[in-house]
Structure 1
């Protein structure tokens, strides 16, 4: 079935296959393929991590670039650091100051 990343992931989890369609730019196609390849058996094996020192602005920027809506927060901001929290859309939806650091409201 010709699809985008979310449906391709869902289909793969059910044993099917999804083909990323060509009705988008080459970069958008590559981004869709990248999103599917990052997803493995229900887990993202190399998540984008943030640190408590990142700002809400950073969250919005990375979300816009990569399409993720939740991020693990580690002490170092890197995979392998100690998990100190998770930030999602619900955490940032009503914040008015995008310069606030994650640690200030987490």
Structure 2
């Protein structure tokens, strides 16, 4: 069996704690369970990467606004934000783990993700 390795896949997940990173990829999608739109951001540096989903919901907006403001993009009421503006931006994130109950299997899952966004 041949397995293709795409650029960036050889990197490990980032260690927990503060990390200076660059946004290297953004993908859009919808949550598997409720169909909530999201964009997934890949934060990367020389040591590794971590991905984080930002859900476009009332509960998710503080994280979205925090991300845009951390890279210097002002988020104001009545102004549309464009995820394309995030590409290539550098910032400091805090990497950590979050546990949740999977709605389909009812089993507990743990994700490594960005848990805080800091202005560099």
TM-score range relative to shorter protein: under 0.3
Normalised TM-score (structure 2) = 0.24
Q: Which has the higher strand share?
A: 2
Q: RCO greater where, 1 or 2, for CA within 8 Å and sep 6 or more?
A: 2
